[in-house]
Structure 1
Amino acid sequence: MHVVGSLNADQLLELSVFPERGETVLSSGTRVTAGGKGGNQAVAAARAGARTAMVGVTGDDAHGRLVRAALAEAGVGTAAVRADPEAPTGLAVVLLEPGGGNRIIVASGANNRVGERDVEAGLAAVEPGDVVLLQLEIPPATVAHAARRARARGATVMLNAAPAPTDARHLDPAYLDVLVVNAHEARAVARLFGVTEGAPEDQAPSLARALDALVVCTAGDRGAYAVPAGGREPVLHVPAVPVPAVDTTAAGDTFTGYLAAALAEGANASDLPAALHRAAAAAALAVTRHGAAESIPDLDEVLRTRFTSPLTSRE
């Protein structure tokens, strides 16, 4: 599978409380690790067992070297990760408070330079049956081009619509097979496509019908909801796994990468419940430790943990 998306260096600042306007607070700890939605999801897919290649751009700087090394260490192919000497590596400042809550500020940097040439080179080896995973932290026109090229090569196109989109021009359902969103992103997509807003379990079927795509909506401590393309099947619900959260930064990316890996390994509608359960378990493990890419567990650890998270369905 291939991931086309963002690559950041994450600067984590641990706080006892978020500052108010005009207030200065002291951090109890700080470090810089690899992140970015694209990079995180590529690491998650690789650690889930999928053969994974990354398409993206970093700066030709120390942060870029850190990110590329982290990808390679996780087993992600980096041949299509370009180091641009004219732009800094993307930087995310993560403000983390006790209990795992966070606020994140992103300077896109070299992520804004991911273009059609990067896509053409990076997806040249895509074959029918492959999965191409996209997000919205690189230029929307590049995301749209990647979706078209992937579909033309017979790949399954999977989009994590994050950050929440504000324009439907680059979200053509004709090139979309799987949509993954959180509750906030689901509302944004619903508005763009004229779907009635509501709770995730109610919105997922409407989106699945409107987009003719498998729709998966994560809802924090309420778990995740999924509906196959067409929206005619019952809603699958995976309850959240209760764990002591210390950092939720990469939870959604871990879930998405694990789900993408299952699809890349040939999971179909009958396999979807098990794939969702495994993705939820991996995300639960990720929030029990600090960092983004570094917090993502490998498949053996997920299988050893044996979380119990019964699946339910509703008409």
Structure 2
Amino acid sequence: MAGRIAMIGSNNVDLVTNLPRMPLPGETLAGTRFSTGFGGKGANQAVAAARLGSAVMMVTRVGDDGFGQDVLRNLEGHGIDLTHARVAKGTANGVASIFVDPSGENVIVIVAGANGTLTPADVDAAADDLIRCDLILLQLEVPLETVYHAIKVAARLGVPAILNPAPAAPGLDLAALRDLSWFCPNQTELAMLTGLPVATEDQIAAAAQSLLVHGIGNVVVTLGARGARLVTAGGVTAIPAIRVRPVDTTGAGDAFIGAFAHFLAAGAAPEQALAQAAGYAALSVTKPGAQGSYASAQEFAAFQATTVQS
């Protein structure tokens, strides 16, 4: 049975440029293709969970412009509850300029726009609906004070919260994360937030375990093509990756987090939810774009039937 998930966070319009290679500093380079799409780490994760069948509610701010209206129509088309999606008057929508090379690697520049106006008061206004959710999803594309407040509200309401600390904030107050149930950095973010080396498996485990001291319940470190590591007080569990030929890695991390939230909210054991999330993220990189690459539950089931873990 699918669960109910609240996403408190960002949305963007993606402006995607495909390049023959990444440009050098000061170089003008002709691109091979341009397209627009919908993104933002919060919206991406919400769409992934919704595509898999979760009932998703968003607490977010959109721009007072055409992009903002487009975002609302897109989210509504995915069946996402927009009761707490507000227009930021006189403010442009958030945008992400994404540059993708032929190998599928990408560079992303984000302008927060309306995302920067999401406040703790917006979280409080949604509390009566948040308490009915199985999980609350958070990222760092909105003001930190709002993220910290959302963690406190989630704890007060008794709703587990997942924080994906992206983009990484070097000034993140780890003490403010003590009520988190799940903390999900990638390898680079783990190094930046802990100040510890993460070059080896032992170092990754030690860095992740250092976060548990702050009261965080569980840490999931995503490692791209190497899968993920679940780190708890009881030890480390390796989550294998799925072998695919990547086309575009844009939004793969968000696909992973959104799928993890979906399967966890549906009642799966953490290890099982993470294994499913690894498969869902792998499928996403076989298609271009972020939200446009996210599979439905039926498409994902068909993919699973033809793959094996690496």
Is TM > 0.5 for Structure 1 vs Structure 2?
yes
Tell me, in whole angstroms, the C-alpha distance in 2 between the residues paired with 1:252 and 1:152: 28
* 1:213 corresponding residue in structure 2: 217
- Please report the RMSD computed on the Cα atoms of aligned residues, expressed in angstroms: 1.8
1:38 has 2:42 as partner? yes
1:130 Cα deviation after fit? 2.1
Judging changes above 3 Å, is the alpha-carbon distance between structure 1 residues 210 and 174 closer, same or farther for their aligned structure 2 residues? closer
CA separation in 2, counterparts of 1:68 and 1:90?
A: 13
User: Residue 6 of structure 1: CA displacement?
Assistant: 0.8
CA distance in 1 between counterparts of 2:295 and 2:142 reads: 26
Q: What's 1:313 paired with?
A: none
> 3-state SS of the aligned residue for 1:2?
strand
Of the candidates 120, 130, 134, which is equivalent to residue 130 of structure 1? Answer: 134
- Which of 181, 185, 190 is equivalent to 2:189? 185
Q: Secondary structure at the match of 2:220?
A: strand
Residue of structure 1 equivalent to 2:277: 279
Q: Which residue does 1:294 correspond to in 2?
A: 292
1:204 touches 1:226 (CA, 8 Å); kept in 2?
A: no
C-alpha distance in 2, partners of 1:97/1:126?
A: 40
Equivalence map 1:105-116=2 (5 Å):
105-116=109-120
CA offset at residue 170 of structure 1?
A: 6.7
Verify: 1:173 aligned to 2:174, yes or no: no
Q: Which amino acid aligns with 1:140?
A: L
- Is the 8 Å Cα contact of residues 120 and 149 (structure 2) preserved in structure 1? yes
Q: CA deviation at 1:19?
A: 1.3
CA contact (8 A) 2:95 2:113 kept: yes
After superposition, the C-alpha distances for 1:86-105 in whole angstroms (9 at most, x for unaligned) are: 11000100001001100000
**2:308 aligned residue:** 308
Code of the residue aligned with 1:297 in structure 2: it is: A
Q: When the two structures are aligned, how many residues end up with a matched partner?
A: 301
In the alignment, what sits opposite 2:157? 153
Compute the displacement of 1:171 (Å). 5.3
Deviations 1:120-169 (A, max 9, x none): 22333122662111000100001111111111111001100111121233
Larger displacement relative to structure 2 (58-67 or 199-208) = 199-208
Q: Deviations over 1:168-198 (max 9, x none)?
A: 337523221100010011112223xxx6755
After superposition, the C-alpha distances for 1:34-75 in whole angstroms (9 at most, x for unaligned) are 100000011111122211101111112111122112211222
Q: Conserved in 2, the CA contact under 8 Å of 1:129 and 1:156?
A: no
Runs of 4+ in structure 1 deviating by more than 4 angstroms, as ranges, are 195-198
Q: Which among 231, 234, 241 is matched to residue 232 of structure 1?
A: 234
Contact 1:160 1:179 in 2 (8 A): yes
1:10-159 matches, within 5 Å, as: 10-127=14-131, 130-159=134-163
User: Given residue 182 of structure 1, which amino acid in structure 2 is its aligned partner?
Assistant: N
Question: 1:100, 1:247 within 8 Å by CA — same for their partners in 2?
Answer: yes
- Asked if 2 retains the 8 angstrom alpha-carbon contact of 1:9 and 1:63, the reply is yes
Q: Percent identity?
A: 36
3-state SS of paired residue (2:184): strand
Following superposition, the deviation at residue 206 of structure 1 comes to 3.7
The residue identity in structure 2 corresponding to 1:238 is I
Cα distance in 1 between the residues matched to 2:173 and 2:223 = 26
Counterparts of 1:241 and 1:171, CA distance in 2: 35
Matched position secondary structure for 1:34? strand
Tell me if structure 2 keeps the 8 A contact 1:278–1:302: no
In structure 2, C-alpha distance between the alignment counterparts of 1:226 and 1:296, rounded to whole Å: 23
Native 8 Å contact 1:9 1:90 kept in 2: yes
Q: Deviations over 1:264-315 (max 9, x none)?
A: 2233xxx1222111101110111111111111112221111123226xxxxx
Return 119-128 or 255-264, whichever deviates more.
119-128
Name the SS of the counterpart of 2:31 in structure 1: coil
Flag structure 2 segments of 5+ consecutive residues without an equivalent. none
Distance in 2 of aligned mates of 1:247 and 1:3: 24
